[in-house]
Structure 1
């Protein structure tokens, strides 16, 4: 049937941009620095609990992840009824937007930022209002406030921002929230918050206590190493959480992910140790880049942003030749995960070759 899809799907679905996953590489010796994953294997407690739970997979998981919610509540010092667990923080973003965006409703977001945001907005029937980043790769919060209209249904913040790595300060976010009408939900995506090491770091718990329209998102995919299981959570006020639970996919978080996430929360000493290793490698990586003459934004995440413009494609190919995959964003730039030191060295060799090309 010719053009049958045009009869079945909404126009905004047919025109959705495709999410581009990080490349794995075509050889076994290729180091993947394209997806911001942790380079460490699954935590020992996580591996043990997965093995112990494997025999019960014939049963449905706890629909509302009660034990995990209780563990998150204790860790975050936040009430159970203000916590919603989802199949990764991205899935929670999708659900929030489905719940609050009316047809043609606007969602204000920084750009460039996480690629899944415009997809989720358009899937919900909304319109992305993209506010350009500042020259340093951070959010232009003044411009974002100016982009709010009577048709604004939600606002997205990403801190540290993906792919630039620049983090918002607590003072900035507090001042921003004070200017946003309380009728507009503000989604603060803190997927990389564990890697932040800066003065005036965002204290999201303090902000949550002051602003009921705030939703803070965390994930187990990054610092906790559970990217393969998909689990994240939202912290918000009880009324907002109740609405999100109402629209949640039944049994949306599988049993292994729930058990593994709880085990990961109980592994704080090792998680913190691994995070410190990544932050130390980030410092060395940035120093080596500066020696070569490259300037990068002040990343507070486990990745760096290289604004290479028209040279981005050439650099990606040079990285492939050096045995490392990176994430190119068209002709804007390239994001490089901070992971194995061997990977950093390969990227530095590729950059040196780019200089000489």
Structure 2
């Protein structure tokens, strides 16, 4: 039998959010995947349907309409933009383009589950830096972990699954101290939900530092999780490298059409985001009233550091009709969902 490369056997599996099991007489809610509970934005389904009618044709490999829409919205030229099947694909593309055996990638842990998978798939070495007790990146420790072998520094903000976001001043100080041979990735899948003083202005850092790379997605706030559209903004050379290693025709015609229509529905998007942020604040207040403490959530989810009690928490949530995302021995991430689901969560916490 032909064997795969040795490092392929070491790739940890990605564990997706579990779908809810139907229960007679009980409405069940999926709070395990950080999905947007709202339906597609106005005009998106119609745009997707028009694209579906032409599914016998290949999609635009150059994503011209999508790149033009992103360039207009972000204030960067098309040459600095690269799209992919979700921002997770961009992680793979970046590591494929810039890392190999002997290279190191520094990232926080616990953080986004795809990081160690993508690092191992690239044949590189992951250097993990534990988050602080309140779920934040330990930026001084991450800076100290950078060596001559480091090629990429991953910063997940807000951090998935713990929730806190990085401040602009602390990231600016870090980026200014990082060697030029290290790419600093600002992974902002949930940036639309951030409400804090000194919020990160990633585009400003990118304009000052050519080794900064910005990742964002339309899966979360924009509600296109089922179509997979993410984008990177970077120096032209970096964006070109991401496009060079990407799968040809990776972003489908339907996904491109839905993304362009979603970007055009900015006003309605922000109304929904504000409603989700208000619901998040309401849930956090309920969590505190129930006697629990959680890290400051700046995404559309909350984190419970349940440790060895994680299986019991998950079982109790299932009994309440809530499917949540466990991380064995560490904790549970719960998405902000429909108000009824959030009410059940708070009631569950009071019982526990």
TM-score (norm 1): 0.96
Matches within 5 A, 1:281-296: 281-296=279-294
Per the alignment, residue 87 of structure 1 pairs with: 85
Q: 1:195: Cα distance to partner?
A: 0.1
Distance 1:240 1:54 in 2: 32
Q: 1:9 aligns with which of 4, 19, 36?
A: 4
Matches within 5 A, 1:1-357: 4=1, 7-27=2-22, 29-354=27-352
**SS of alignment partner, residue 285 of structure 2:** helix
Distance 2:51 2:180 in 1: 43
TM-score (norm 2): 0.97
RMSD, aligned α-carbons: 0.9
Unaligned stretches of 5+ in structure 1?
Answer: none
- Length, aligned pairs only: 349
Distance 2:159 2:21 in 1: 29
Unaligned stretches of 5+ in structure 2?
Answer: none
Q: 1:271: Cα distance to partner?
A: 0.6
Report if the CA contact (8 A) 2:291-2:350 is conserved: no
Greater shift in the superposed pair: 282-291 or 239-248: 239-248
Distance 2:89 2:153 in 1: 16
Distance 2:347 2:197 in 1: 33
Distance 1:34 1:171 in 2: 32
Q: 1:16: Cα distance to partner?
A: 1.3
Deviating runs (4+, > 6 A) in structure 1? Answer: none
